[in-house]
Amino acid sequence: MRTDYAIGIHDLSFSTTSLVLSHAELSRHNGTDLAKYHVGIGQRAMSVPTLDEDIVTMAAAAAAPVVERHGTDRVRTLVLATETAVDQSKAAGIYVHSLLGFHPNVRVVEVKQACYGATAGLQFATALVHRDPGQQVLVIASDVSRYDLDSPGEATQGAAATALLVSANPALVEIDRPSGLFTSDVMDFWRPNYRSTALVNGKESIAAYLEAVDGAWRDYSAQGGLPLKDFRAFCYHQPYTRMAFKAHRQLLETCGEAPDDAAVEHAVAATTGYNETVGNSYTASMYLALAALLEGEDDLTGESVGLFSYGSGRVAEFFAGHVRPGYREHLRGDAHRAAVDRRRPVDYPAYRELREQTLPTDGRWHDLPHQTQGPFRLAGIRDHQRVYEAA
């Protein structure tokens, strides 16, 4: 059932880091067969942040083009979703609010539930716009994924931010009702407060993800959702791109369909282009998949797209998006491809040196070297306060 006006994603922009480590370089370091990365997990490279890049600088860089195009007058809420927060109390979005020059009459909040958080923010946003269709909500997903050096998870690291402008009568994708929801308490992936890197139970994580696909779809169907045949393509959370293919096979089996390789390829392949070279961007991942799909060769006007959002621990949601007429006129494909292409390659020793550096915690003033190519940077730490500036 729809309202008398559509609500959904009016604009979508993403950013990533200044550096990139290829999986060819990683395999030279650790001796892993490159096919394990390129074919086994479907990854070719990972974005690596400089010392003066973090979730705030990426979030501001992702949102800046949206603000430039649409302004801030109608934005009454800014939601930033992340699982790599920079502060236990202050919302990272407040820094973004300041960097982008928002007016003060805005609510700013941070949401967390592993990689699912941005979808929670999107659903909060649609409810706010339904209540007042004159306002817009800016939802930003920004994360840097990190695992222990020389661990199996190292090859799936990445970093990116997506900014979604949610409004009535959106230009890109209408968010349809209902949603299929699924939550259960598992320990497939987690990061305690005292750790800077995540802990992963690999087999448990894959099983938990696939069980969530099954559970969320069954709830979606029970709520009166569209049948499988009505969807043109599917965007899945992509901790690594081959996981999206596994997920769609699971969905086909859940629906009693044969998990045919050609059908899976047709439904998923167009969504993997950014994730395979950016790496796992946690909350931003599914929305990078959506960007890749919309910017692809196929005309999706009027088509329904399935969206599956997953956050370890575990929360999942399946919902549908309806692609709007004229959506191609509002895409940012050239800018997105440029953001990916301009990253500077680093060798493994340089990457490892960056990974082993940590920000000071002594409360003194520490200025950081200017390394980013982006428009915003973390300038330093002063009296335990992060100081951001335009680069």
3-state secondary structure of 123: helix
Would residue 1 count as lying in a domain?
no
Would residue 102 count as lying in a domain?
yes
Find the domain containing 133 and state its range. Answer: 7-390
Would residue 45 count as lying in a domain?
yes
Cα gap 11→357, rounded to integer Å: 36
Would residue 336 count as lying in a domain?
yes
Q: In what order do the strands lie in the sheet with 376-382?
A: 366-367, 376-382, 385-390
Please count the residues of the chain.
391
Would residue 261 count as lying in a domain?
yes
The mean predicted confidence, pLDDT, of the chain is 96
Torsion region of 150: left, alpha or beta (phi above 0 gives left; psi -120 to 50 gives alpha) = left
What integer is the mean pLDDT of 27-44? 97
pLDDT surpassing 80 at residue 27: yes
How confident is residue 2, by pLDDT bands cut at 50, 70 and 90?
very low
Would residue 2 count as lying in a domain?
no
Would residue 277 count as lying in a domain?
yes
CATH number at residue 359: 3.40.47.10
How confident is the model over 108-155, as pLDDT tens digits? 999 999 999 999 999 999 999 999 999 999 999 999 999 999 999 999
Cα gap 300→303, rounded to integer Å: 5
pLDDT recorded at residue 1: 37
Active site residues: 83, 115, 237
Structural domains of the chain, count: 1
pTM (predicted TM-score): 0.97
Cα gap 69→163, rounded to integer Å: 13
C-alpha atoms less than 13 angstroms from C-alpha of 305 in its C-beta half-sphere:
30
User: Which pair of tokens denotes residue 113?
Assistant: 């539930």
